[in-house]
Copies of this chain bind each other. A is one copy, B any other.
Amino acid sequence: MNTEQHTSPSVNLPVDQYMSAVGQAARAAATSMAAASTAARNNALLALARQIRAHAGELKARNASDIAAAEANGLSTPMVDRLRLTDKVIATMAESCEQVAALPDPVGEMINLRRRPTGITVGQMRVPIGVFGMIYESRPNVTIEAASLAIKSGNACVLRGGSEAIHSNLALWKLVQAALTEVHLPMEAVQLVQTTDRAAVGQLITMPQYVDVIIPRGGKGLIERISAEAKVPVIKHLDGNCHTYVDSEVDLALAVNVTDNAKTQKYSPCNATESLLVHVNQAAAFLPIIGAVFAAKDVEMRCDDRAKAILADVPGAKVVDATEQDWFEEYLAPVIAVKVVDSLGDAIAHINHHGSHHTDAILTTNHPNAMRFIREVDSASVMINASTRFADGFEYGLGAEIGISTDKFHARGPVGLEGLTSLKYVVLGQGEVRS
């Protein structure tokens, strides 16, 4: 084996050469990772958990220099909090490695094996994608999350964390390398970009020869920019303008309970409902009740004329005229857009036009209406009589959530470990030839 593979690329190189060397090292390690046994990959994760626990003190010391620099640079308190490696965060990182180790191996599964008339048996085998790149903000725990997903799925990865967390990330990366080495897997399988030079991101997303897919985490602006400039596929999550639609035939108590949960259980997640559509036949019955719930929780309602006419009479209701822009908005706040619609078809058309194709729900007792809604609403998750808040990899039973995709290609909706794999065809023969 070429011993060059075992030297980390030098960060003193010009950034383009450095990133090429990082990519090349990841690509070379990907082959070994793909061939590694399930046991070796799981043992690496357990070793990583031990490393993290054994080096908690060192991690906190390295983290302290990031925190000091962040405070000196005037970072906001929430930003500094996200950066901080507390005992609790460190314990959670170690536990999550053990949890990922306990998940079923996504690699090697063979499906759809069928005998063909020619005698060959044709099916598909699930294999690692190769190398993924992850670009994320200054949460050092994401370094361990990404590394553990890569190890579990038999991939290599290149990690680019926020510059404010660089010392913490370097310390965590050292533990990942130690864990890989301990179980005789290539330590190059997890690469950390050691420079905070922004040009490194531009390189990372345009090296299809070394990186197969990019997973960005962060604000919509960052993700849009990466998607526009990337020369490889991006598993991207843009905004979540989720709708709850109350149909003409509905259990009112269920509708109030689910709508309340979808909007108010937590305001910040992307799967919280931002727009409420109500069939005209239910508006007079439903809106006053949900309006009172929202009034009690100080949720502002941005209404069309028909909704306003009903909600204006609810004591304490914060009712505002909706503008066209409100139908497109992801508030992530105690605000909801409310509209009365004349038909199921109008509701579907409104959602497909104004929504963000993330998650939309119908509340109804009418079976054909429910089925039409889930067929025709063009979103990653479509729901019947459930809170949009369920759109989540853990709630869906995926074990781990790599990200959420608002695309239609490869992975759509919450993405589990399978999103880091591809299916190749296998043909099992006994000497068959084509005639």
The answer to whether B412 touches A409, judged by C-beta atoms less than 8 angstroms apart, is no
The answer to whether B130 touches A408, judged by C-beta atoms less than 8 angstroms apart, is yes
B-facing mask of A237-276, CB < 8 A → 1, else 0? 0000000000000010010011011100100000000000
Q: How far is the CB of A343 from chain B (nearest CB, A)?
A: 14
Name the B residues within 8 Å of A431 (CB-CB).
251, 254, 257-258, 385-386
Residue of B nearest to A235 (CB): B409
With A and B bound together, what is the CA distance between A261 and B34 in angstroms? 31
Residue of B nearest to A212 (CB): B408
With A and B bound together, what is the CA distance between A414 and B426 in angstroms? 12
- Count of residues in A whose CB is under 8 Å from the partner chain: 68
> How many copies of the chain does the oligomer comprise?
2
The answer to whether A422 touches B408, judged by C-beta atoms less than 8 angstroms apart, is yes
Known A-B contacts A375-B35, A384-B428, A425-B413; A118 and B395 likewise in contact (beta carbons under 8 Å):
yes
The answer to whether A396 touches B129, judged by C-beta atoms less than 8 angstroms apart, is no
Contact of A412 among B34, B389, B424, B432 (CB under 8 A): B424
Most buried by B among A257, A381, A413, A433: A433
With A and B bound together, what is the CA distance between A35 and B378 in angstroms? 11
Say yes or no: is A376 at the interface (Cβ < 8 Å to chain B): yes
The answer to whether B424 touches A380, judged by C-beta atoms less than 8 angstroms apart, is yes
Say yes or no: is A162 at the interface (Cβ < 8 Å to chain B): no
Name the B residues within 8 Å of A174 (CB-CB).
none
Name the B residues within 8 Å of A116 (CB-CB).
395-397
With A and B bound together, what is the CA distance between A206 and B396 in angstroms? 34
Residue of B nearest to A115 (CB): B397
Say yes or no: is A63 at the interface (Cβ < 8 Å to chain B): no
With A and B bound together, what is the CA distance between A386 and B428 in angstroms? 7
Say yes or no: is A120 at the interface (Cβ < 8 Å to chain B): yes
The answer to whether B395 touches A434, judged by C-beta atoms less than 8 angstroms apart, is yes
Known A-B contacts A374-B125, A395-B434, A409-B410; A424 and B389 likewise in contact (beta carbons under 8 Å):
no
Going nearest first, the 3 A-B pairs with the smallest beta carbon separation are A386-B429, A261-B433, A389-B434
Give 6 pairs: A residue, B residue, CB < 8 Å, sorted on A: A114-B397, A261-B434, A265-B433, A381-B426, A395-B434, A412-B424
